[in-house]
Structure 1
């Protein structure tokens, strides 16, 4: 253990070695494997190897969006804080979370909706917002789905991993029916840390 304390990066290296060993015969395409392993590293939960779903060309679409300076929108400040903003800024991108904005709170109150839904309404107004990252609020994912179906926004990637017992699983199932690049988790599991881990895995590929 003393060597790990002296050189902290060895902990992460060894962690990924253990994850690879414990995954055993279960393999993925290289880029998807990087996402799966980073999520497992974040959660210590190997079930993500079974429930993480990556749509065709989702990773390439996200890479192009980031390289072109596209911005990322999250539904929580926790997800925003977990994303490697320094790496993103190398390509001119920024991370935004509108959940606490006064105008979002006002819109939510006036329309009788959640702040998460109102935040998505604000987010789609800026064409620079290319990647939408939902780790907590199913209502945000449902609202984003509505905007996509109405032709008001066409994301380069949607990370849909809300966690919970009410609406979480259903909101992710709906996204698998849409013609947009997505990365989702099936079922109840997910969360802001999972959402950030997925984005970081893609950033570290660049």
Structure 2
């Protein structure tokens, strides 16, 4: 018995993005932001999330520049790290969630490992691309660090998923990004996740080499 389906990966991707363009209104976005939003829609399989995407004024430009310069890519969890297309980056993404010091730091402070891991970022945070797709606590801690006068990344991709703190952390990011002087890309509400977060980075990487849909 045979089934009728499209086996060609390029054809599948092209048709997917054709459908996404038909199902979403991207008219108010610059070309780079359109690519970002389409990649997120593709990753979650829901065109409606396009209405909840938020991209700050210089987010794409600063993110692209940081990636082109080989600045650090700092991830909250391994799944985000693994979702980033390695062939397009000079240096591997970094994740300190499973670092030997992280568990002890978290236990000592009575906080999540995702929060404690940020202490190990150090000066790598300056000019970096931060990608948070799982832990709202990591996003809240990052905002606390910046508000307290810490170094700033070039771009925060804040798309944690979940029912406790996810929507609140992303709304806080969006509400405070101008006050804190940071560029960000986020998806408001409970939806998000590692695949969505890494897809933003992949979209910017593809823009850097002229791959667009």
Scaled by the length of structure 1, the TM-score of the pair is 0.92
Deviation track 1:12-43 (CA, whole Å, cap 9, x = no partner) reads 011111111222x5523211111111111111
Distance 2:108 2:192 in 1: 30
Q: Select the residue among 146, 158, 161 that pairs with 1:160.
A: 158
Distance 1:190 1:53 in 2: 13
Could you tell me how far 1:2 is from its partner in structure 2? 6.2
- Answer yes or no: is the 8 Å Cα contact 2:26–2:34 preserved in 1: no
Distance 2:122 2:99 in 1: 15
Is residue 87 from structure 1 mapped to residue 85 from structure 2 by the alignment?
Answer: no
Could you tell me how far 1:84 is from its partner in structure 2? 0.7
Distance 1:47 1:125 in 2: 38
Is residue 102 from structure 1 mapped to residue 106 from structure 2 by the alignment?
Answer: no
Structure 1 gap ranges (5+)? none
Which consecutive segments of 4 or more residues in structure 1 shift more than 4 A?
none
Distance 2:124 2:12 in 1: 40
Distance 1:45 1:162 in 2: 16
Could you tell me how far 1:125 is from its partner in structure 2? 3.8
Scaled by the length of structure 2, the TM-score of the pair is 0.89
The corresponding residue for 1:30 is: 31
Is residue 199 from structure 1 mapped to residue 197 from structure 2 by the alignment?
Answer: no
- Answer yes or no: is the 8 Å Cα contact 1:73–1:129 preserved in 2: no
Deviation track 1:140-181 (CA, whole Å, cap 9, x = no partner) reads 001000110112221100011111111111111111213200
Distance 2:117 2:59 in 1: 23
Structure 2 gap ranges (5+)? 209-213
Distance 1:189 1:3 in 2: 29
The corresponding residue for 2:54 is: 53
The corresponding residue for 1:170 is: 168
The corresponding residue for 1:148 is: 146
The alignment yields a C-alpha RMSD, in angstroms, of 1.6
Aligned length: 201
Counterparts in 2 of 1:6-45, with a 5 A limit? 7-23=8-24, 25-27=25-27, 28-45=29-46
Deviation track 1:117-136 (CA, whole Å, cap 9, x = no partner) reads 01111113435660111111
Distance 1:46 1:190 in 2: 13
